[in-house]
Copies of this chain bind each other. A is one copy, B any other.
Amino acid sequence: MLIHDDRLFPAEPATRSIARALYAHVRSLPIVSPHGHTQAAWFARNEPFPDPAKLFVQPDHYVYRMLYSQGISMEELEIGRPEIKDPRKVWRIFASHYYLFRGTPTRIWLDYAFQELFGLEERLSEKTADLYYDTIAAKLQTPEFRPRALFERFHLEVLATTDSPLDSLADHEAIRKSGWKARIIPNFRPDSVVDPEFPCFAQSIAKLGEQTRENTSTWSGYLNALRKARARFRSLGCTATDHGHPTAQTADLSQTEAAKLFECILAGRADALQQELFRAQMLTEMAQMSLEDGLVMQVHPGAVRNHNRQIYERYGRDTGADIPRPTDYVQALRPLLNRFGNEKNLTIILFTLDESAFSRELAPLAGHYPCLRLGPPWWFLDSPEGMMRFRELATETAGFYNTVGFNDDTRAFLSIPARHDVARRIDCAFLARLVAEHRLDEDEAHEVAHDLAYRLVKEAYRL
């Protein structure tokens, strides 16, 4: 067997038995996935997923960055090509290096999918590469492995995608029109039209103007266009925005100053500081709009994008070469919080890649400001140890109720049940320790486990 029923539970028998009991009540709860990077097109078209390499290796930068770090080239893995010419060869490379993932969450997610979805029980290795390839390839052609069938099998109550304001959302519309009753909704991610350093920024602004019939060469037209785009997203079920800026910096300029800055940005005359100031101001504008239309804000700061210049130039964004930096929240968020921090009707969910901020900044902020909540451990921290440290570092100051359950944040659709399962197990393991150490009663732990697995995410994301 690849996965064990007691996986991720503490070894100490009394604690493990509490963890088991807690988990038994949450393991089968529906999955609410309010933030991720799956494609609505999969569900609109409902075509079979292609081969194993295309499914598990090519789209998953967690997988191929580890292979790359050990000297396997992007060419060998056929990364960046629309089609994989020799998927079995790519799969064999992956299989024979599967030992590299020992001790990583990727290993846990993959083993879960291999066993639970494909019935594989012998470890992936050079030896079993072809068995895996053939088994997975065959199943992918069956009706039970079409995207919609998997969606239902995964017990997904809500699945959110992440979309640019310029996206037509045609796939979302197609899903709705198809009569299929799944709740698949977009997240509004405006980075491409609020971050002047985004490629083709000016063209995107112009395109936004066309789509919304607003004059986006003026500040007020630009803001109106964003309002209209948000309304369009809301009409398709969107409840949240998402902001992936390099920092958490916010600003609170007067509208005159902001208009002037926007003009300077559009004219291409802005330096790095002005670009940062514009992003900062736009977070505050987005908060203003959220107060108006009720969209929940997510802030995902702190990654240096495209750190590896050669890889970026050849393969583009999101290729495993984003690296976190120290991230300030306390001074950065102050302009926004001075304006909206005490609003009960605003929800801003903060994420971090800098764990040192959990106990120092994020828990104290979320443990005070009514508008703030803490997002779950993200990206490099979305792992058993990372999740456990998050609870240990944040709970004592922020409590459980200023957190918002789990986000899988994945591009790998098949990893969704595994990722939620890991989160539920780790939360139960943490709660079991509190119970075993007489810091929480068992009946309370059951309630908290349920809240963390299901209730808080729906409440925080207004689902």
Contacts and interface: CB of A to CB of B under 8 A. Distances in A.
A175 to B, nearest CB: 35
A361 B324 contact: yes
Contacts of A399: 66, 100-104
A325 B334 CA distance: 13
A257 interface: no
A385 to B, nearest CB: 5
Interface stretch (A43-51, A207-215, A260-268, A335-343): A335-343
Interface stretch (A4-12, A26-34, A277-285): A4-12
B11 A433 contact: yes
Interface stretch (A155-163, A187-195, A225-233, A365-373): A365-373
B304 A331 contact: yes
Interface stretch (A166-174, A350-358, A404-412): A350-358
Nearest to A441: B123
Interface stretch (A81-89, A133-141, A142-150, A305-313): A305-313
A228 B18 CA distance: 61
A326 interface: yes
Q: How large is the interface on A (under 10, 10 to 19, 20 to 34, 35 or more residues)?
A: 35 or more
B4 A438 contact: yes
A439 B103 contact: yes
A105 B386 CA distance: 22
A402 B66 CA distance: 9
Interface stretch (A196-204, A287-295, A389-397, A413-421): A389-397
Contact of A341 (B71, B310, B396, B402): B310
Interface in A8-29: 8-12, 14-15
Contacts of A434: 103
Contacts of A108: 439
A401 B7 CA distance: 23
Nearest to A61: B368
A369 B331 contact: no
A105 B367 CA distance: 13
A260 to B, nearest CB: 25
B102 A8 contact: no
A383 B434 CA distance: 13
Contacts of A448: 102-103
Contacts of A444: 99, 102
A325 B448 CA distance: 30
Q: Which of A366, A380, A395 counts the most chain B CB atoms within 10 A?
A: A380
A436 interface: yes
Contacts of A369: 69, 308
Nearest to A386: B396
A125 to B, nearest CB: 10
A8 B65 contact: no
Interface string A424-463: 0000000001101111110010011000000000000000
Given A104-B396, A439-B103, A330 B355 contact: no
A363 B7 CA distance: 24
Given A8-B438, A104-B397, A437-B11, A330 B337 contact: no
A432 to B, nearest CB: 9
A359 interface: yes
A400 B102 contact: yes
Contact of A354 (B66, B360, B433): B360
B392 A385 contact: yes
A123 B361 CA distance: 31
Nearest to A324: B360
A106 to B, nearest CB: 9
Nearest to A382: B396
A344 interface: yes
A293 B429 CA distance: 50
In the A-B complex, list the 5 residue pairs whose CB atoms are closest, starting with the nearest. Answer: A4-B438, A11-B436, A7-B438, A383-B396, A103-B395
Interface of A: 3-4, 6-12, 14-15, 65-66, 68-71, 99-105, 108, 123, 304, 307-311, 320-326, 328, 330-331, 334, 337-338, 341-342, 344, 353-356, 359-361, 363-370, 372, 380-381, 383-386, 389, 392-393, 395-402, 433-434, 436-441, 444, 447-448
